[in-house]
Amino acid sequence: MYVKICGLTQLEQAAPLVRAGVDAIGINLHPSSPRRVSFEQADELLRAVGHAAGIEGRPVELVALLAASQGEQAIARCRELGFDWVQLHGVETSGPMGSVVDGAVTGEAVRTEAVSDSERAVGCDSARGEGVGGWSQRTTPAHAAGTGDRFRGVFLAVGVGSVADVDLAQRAPGERVLLDAKVPGMAGGTGQRFDWRLARELGVQRRVILAGGLTPENVAEAIRIAEPWGVDAASSLESSPGVKDIERCRAFVAAAKGAHRG
């Protein structure tokens, strides 16, 4: 089970989150988020996560959370900083930003093309689509380390409140899609949940990351009902916005990793 924790803002919490066993850490650059950091702060956070992951000797994906209104320039900046993924909020899949996710920028396809000879030499198997376990973690952003582009692509975050929203998510390009509770005027991080049964069918066809109101106490039930590929949490694992409760983070990871689908 892929486990992502979003909303890292504190440099000193990067290493404890990595040690908690997360597969991915989200850094919020969305302008309306209470967990928003600047691109300069994000650069420092990426370095801290990369350093901790290098010490632990295991991969941790770095995900930037953006609003579609920030445009392609913001996506390019995230790529330069060394993020693995951009999680894009507020996209109408039939609109012009849909092309950013489709085609050459789509996740696994980009990573397949980007695997270098040096990564093949150390046994990196990401090109075969085997997920986070095959990712060769770097201890600094790609542009600083001089090791090339690590960007894997863009995936959409879709707010779900009905079957119609799931149908919209089905049309989203790319293999990954994040499903969150649909809250008017908000782009995730609300701590509200939706009917997990709505996600189950889509999970058969796509790499669904389930979000919205997940906690250490309910994530196992959510996984049993929705059968997602991954789970994501933010506000339920905090003492205040952007300040993680590391014990709850550890409990969330353990509960998710120990859960059974179906």
Tens digit of each residue's pLDDT (9 = 90 or more) over 104-128: 344 443 332 333 333 322 223 332 2
Which range among 70-79, 139-148, 178-187 shows the weakest confidence by mean pLDDT?
Answer: 139-148
Which range among 8-12, 136-140, 179-183 shows the weakest confidence by mean pLDDT?
Answer: 136-140
CB 101 within 8 A of CB 172: yes
Task: Tell which wins on pLDDT, 107 or 73.
Answer: 73
Which domains are present in the chain?
A: 2-257 (3.20.20.70)
Please tell me whether residue 92 adopts helix, strand or coil conformation.
Answer: coil
The mean pLDDT value for 222-251 works out to 96
Q: What pLDDT, on a 0 to 100 scale, did the predictor assign at position 251?
A: 98
The mean pLDDT value for 177-190 works out to 75
Q: What pLDDT, on a 0 to 100 scale, did the predictor assign at position 172?
A: 85
Q: What pLDDT, on a 0 to 100 scale, did the predictor assign at position 237?
A: 97
Is 130 a residue whose pLDDT tops 60?
A: no
CA distance 129 to 252: 26
Q: What pLDDT, on a 0 to 100 scale, did the predictor assign at position 223?
A: 97
Q: What pLDDT, on a 0 to 100 scale, did the predictor assign at position 148?
A: 53
Confidence of residue 101 (pLDDT cuts 50, 70, 90): low
Is 86 a residue whose pLDDT tops 50?
A: yes
Is 239 a residue whose pLDDT tops 90?
A: yes
Cβ neighbour number for residue 10 with a 10 Å cutoff: 15
Q: What pLDDT, on a 0 to 100 scale, did the predictor assign at position 131?
A: 32
Task: Supply φ then ψ for residue 85, to 5 degrees.
Answer: -140, 155
State the virtual CA torsion across 214, 228, 55, 7 in degrees, nearest 10: -40
Element (H, E) at 160: strand 153-160
**Each residue's pLDDT tens digit, 9-53:** 999 999 999 999 999 999 999 988 889 999 999 999 999 999 999
The mean pLDDT value for 72-88 works out to 95
* This prediction's pTM: 0.80
CA distance 159 to 226: 15
The mean pLDDT value for 62-70 works out to 94
Task: Tell which wins on pLDDT, 26 or 192.
Answer: 26
CA distance 139 to 137: 7
Q: What pLDDT, on a 0 to 100 scale, did the predictor assign at position 12?
A: 98
CA-nearest of 55, 106, 114 to 82 is 114
Is 211 a residue whose pLDDT tops 90?
A: yes
Q: What pLDDT, on a 0 to 100 scale, did the predictor assign at position 173?
A: 83
* DSSP H helical ranges for the chain: 14-19, 39-56, 71-81, 98-101, 107-114, 117-121, 142-145, 163-170, 197-205, 219-226, 246-257
Token pair of 48 as six digits: 């801290």
